Structure 1
Amino acid sequence: MDRVDENGRGMTRPASFRVTDTGNRRALRDIRNVVGAPPYACPIGKRGFPDKDSLDDKKLTLVARRPATRKFVATLASKSQPYQQGTNGQHREVGSQSQYNPPVPLVSKSSCLDSCTTIDVDYNSSNDIALPMVEEMEEMDNSDLKEVAMEDLVIETLPSIDICDSNNPLAVVEYVEDIYSFYRQTEVTSCVSPDYMSQQFDINEKMRAILIDWLIEVHYKFELMEETLFLTVNIIDRFLARQTVARKKLQLAGVTAMLLACKYEEVSVPVVEDLILISDRAYTREEVLEMEKLIVNTLQFNMSVPTPYVFMRRFLKAAEADRKLELLSFFIIELCLVEYKMLKFRPSLLAAAAIYTAQCSLRGLKYWTKTSELHSNYSEDQLLECSRLMVDFHHKAGLGKLTGVHRKYTTLKYGCTAKSEPALFLLNTIL
């Protein structure tokens, strides 16, 4: 008949089994078994090691050959014990633990020497340094990583420049940053190759400059919106980059591009007859409409592209610009519209460089605030190359034959901005 050994839970032994050594046996109360505690995953024998009946020979051999692992297991066992035997036989609480852990029998040095001579470390010695639990080690590592991450992570937030427009529904403060983020992603679609004129057989960059200088005067005469001028120039460049045009049709392409821009931006659109009249009747109505169809088909009806104007408005707001700075900035960037070489710069860079150049011109020193840098995503060093070209255009604006922008900004309507001094000191700045 089988019987149950009290030191090996769930282990049955034959009836003929007899225990010869009973001198060192201890009662259950001596090893502090708690009634109702969950059963151990690995049964513990009377000497503090797993019973040989609970592990096969292969596992026992592996354990015997790894004293370091056994040491670490014993250390974890001693750390996880919530109670420790006092000198008076009573149980006292060790440390503060918020969660109950089942007690683990202590392993004494004498019992270890009786069972296995390969372990000569007293785990209960007061000279031993207690190793942390696995959970404690993980918590320490995680806390250290969090502290390092918080120290290394520097979040540079954008200063709010839209507080004054919080009650203005037209300012769309809730998603204005998303709009300009989209503009930055799509502005490359509005750019053209800076050497596209090499594909034209009958026109050159000088003819392009004459055309745009004339269109700036037409734009001023018709009192159109600023957005219309920038979109007109963009349509012309994108069209000429894809379609070859004869010299005698270049002006026709220009006035038709302005007609398309007016239809997209203006409330009151000039009629075709007005454009024919301003062209000295060089073209007929049918020719204008045919060119209009050719342009929209060439551009695949894509008129919604970010031009320098949309970035100018945002960057001027970030710079806290007054009327004088705004006019000077637009004067400088309109000078760039005439120049073919400025096509190599993105619209956002042109806008930021124009404002930076205007600020340097008005203040007499280099000036670019952190707010402007954060909202434009351009540092002062990134703007310097483009800004130096703008200073040169500003210095020569009233000279030569193409003075349409200069004449426009010498009027009282534009505050005689063209008479301001250029920031010539930027020309001596080392790139």
Structure 2
Amino acid sequence: MQLEQSIDCTLQEWTDLKLNNLRIDRKQRITEDIFSSLKLGEAESITGTCLAKHSITAELRSRMIDWMIEVLAQYRTSGQTFFLAVKIMDKYFQKCTESLPATKLHLVGVTSMFIASKFEDIYSLRLKIVYEKIAHKRLSEKSIRKMEQKILRTLKFDLAIPNCADFLGYLCEIVNPSLAIRRTAELILVLLQIYYNTGLLPSQEATAALIIAANSLRQERLVPKILDASECSEFDMAFVVDRILRGIYDFPRNLGSFKSAMKFLGFSLILRTPGPLFVFEDLDVQADQEQLLTIFN
């Protein structure tokens, strides 16, 4: 399967426009009641072996998500749009009764981004942009509309799928971590989506990502507050933290060919033990990282 270049611009042109995006900056406040509701419904969001009945491999899925990062970062969608698009795609694969060939992945992935942007973004992706700039006219507007209807019917029009971005947003409101910790947690969650069938609840992913981010920047004092806010036990999270951390450290070896996150979100992996996991291009995040580590030392 060959994925299209998302836009007709060079990487430098996009960098100059500062479109390194996909940040989880939800303006509306997530209350405790909403958090409780998300927790109750999050088990339904697990997609497990959603590719089992299809001719789509885990590697092709990873390649699609890597491309989603490129597309959605360049078009300035929200972080929530990316995470919802991944969930929509995986839930469709899980619930779809027919066996899909690999050639359908491009259409399903593009349409999932289109639907997610409508649901999350104030200025959503328009069909004309999706058709002309993202799909480069290789998918017809009619086929995108038809797949949109098929996905929505398969999901019974229920797009309120709890995802890790929702939980991270809530935890950050309670814990109020510094900028560098928040951005580190966000990037961990973005990279985690490229892996297939983690079997983790969204709240576990978000809690573990924030704990790993805090620990990597020597802010262990935040961990009890994170655990308390997440309603997760220290014992249960120890396993999840270890599993996700191993996934991040193994990323260059297992999924190193997928470069869009690093290219378009403005960071590189350094994976120090102990120490920061990422080097950020954003000067504000760099300064916050340095300040946290200086205070510790």
- Higher Cα radius of gyration: 1
Q: In the alignment, is residue 219 of structure 1 matched against residue 69 of structure 2?
A: no
CA distance in 2 between partners of 1:398 and 1:318 (Å): 33
Match of 1:187 in 2: 42
Structure 2 distance, partners of 1:332, 1:422, is 15
Do the aligned partners of residues 209 and 226 (structure 1) sit closer, same or farther apart at CA in structure 2, a change above 3 Å counting? same
Shift of 1:314: 1.3
Aligned match of 1:309: 165
- Distance in 1, matches of 2:261 and 2:238, equals 23
Number of aligned residue pairs: 244
2:101 equivalent to 1:251: no
1:315, distance to aligned residue in structure 2 (A): 1.2
Summarize the Cα distance change of 1:391–1:170 in structure 2 as closer, same or farther, 3 Å threshold.
closer
Contact 1:360 1:423 in 2 (8 A): no
User: For 1:329, which of 156, 176, 185 is the aligned residue?
Assistant: 185
The match for 1:338 is 194
Asked whether 1:210 is paired with 2:63, we answer yes
Q: Give the TM-score taking structure 1 as reference length.
A: 0.53
Q: What is the Cα deviation at residue 199 of structure 1?
A: 1.7
Shift of 1:372: 1.7
Whether the aligned pair in 2 keeps the contact of 1:226 and 1:309 (CA below 8 Å) is: yes
Distance 1:170 1:318, change over 3 A: closer
Measure the CA separation in 1 of the matches of 2:153 and 2:128.
23
Aligned residues of 1:308 and 1:348 also touching (Cα < 8 A): yes
| Bigger relative contact order (CA 8 A; separation at least 6) | 2
In the TM superposition, what are the counterparts of 1:262-341 in structure 2 within 5 Å? 262-276=117-131, 277-341=133-197
Task: Please give the alpha-carbon distance, in whole angstroms, between the structure 2 residues aligned to 1:301 and 1:274.
Answer: 23
Q: For 1:141-160, list aligned pairs within 5 A.
A: none
Retained in 2: the 8 A contact 1:398–1:406? no
Structure 2: gaps spanning 5 or more residues: 1-26, 276-297
How many angstroms apart in 2 are the aligned matches of 1:221 and 1:301?
A: 27
CA distance in 2, matches of 1:210, 1:279: 15
Change beyond 3 A, Cα 1:207–1:266: same
Q: Which runs of 5+ in 1 are unaligned?
A: 1-168, 426-431
When normalised by structure 2's length, the TM-score is: 0.76
Residue deviations 1:204-254, cap 9 Å, x none?
A: 111111111110110101010111111100000100001232211111100
- Preserved CA contact (<8 Å) 1:190 1:306: yes
Distance 1:224 1:257, change over 3 A: same
Q: Which whole-Å CA distance do the structure 2 matches of 1:171 and 1:341 have between them?
A: 30
**Alignment partner of 1:347 out of 202, 208, 226:** 202
Quick one: structure 1 residues 318 and 195, their matched pair in 2 at CA, closer, same or farther if it must change by over 3 Å? Answer: same
CA distance in 1, matches of 2:251, 2:211: 18
| Cα gap change, 1:178 to 1:252, in 2 (>3 Å) | same
- Indicate if the aligned counterparts of 2:214 and 2:223 stay in contact, CA closer than 8 A: no
Secondary structure at the residue paired with 1:198?
coil
Amino acid at match of 1:221: Q
CA 1:385/1:280 → structure 2, altered by over 3 Å: closer, same or farther? Answer: farther
1:370 aligns with 2:224: yes
| Structure with the bigger percentage of helix | 2
Instruction: Return the alpha-carbon distance in structure 1 between the equivalents of residues 197 and 240 of structure 2.
Output: 10
The Cα shift of 1:394 comes to 2.9
CA contact (8 A) 1:361 1:421 kept: no
Q: What are the residue-to-residue correspondences of 1:80-99 with 2, within 5 Å? A: none
State how far apart, in whole Å, the 1-side matches of 2:148 and 2:224 are: 44
Contact 1:353 1:386 in 2 (8 A): yes
Identity of aligned residues (%): 23
Q: How does 1:376-395 map to 2 (within 5 A)?
A: 376-395=230-249
2:290 corresponding residue in structure 1: none
RMSD between aligned alpha carbons?
2.2
Deviation at residue 382 of structure 1 after TM alignment = 1.5
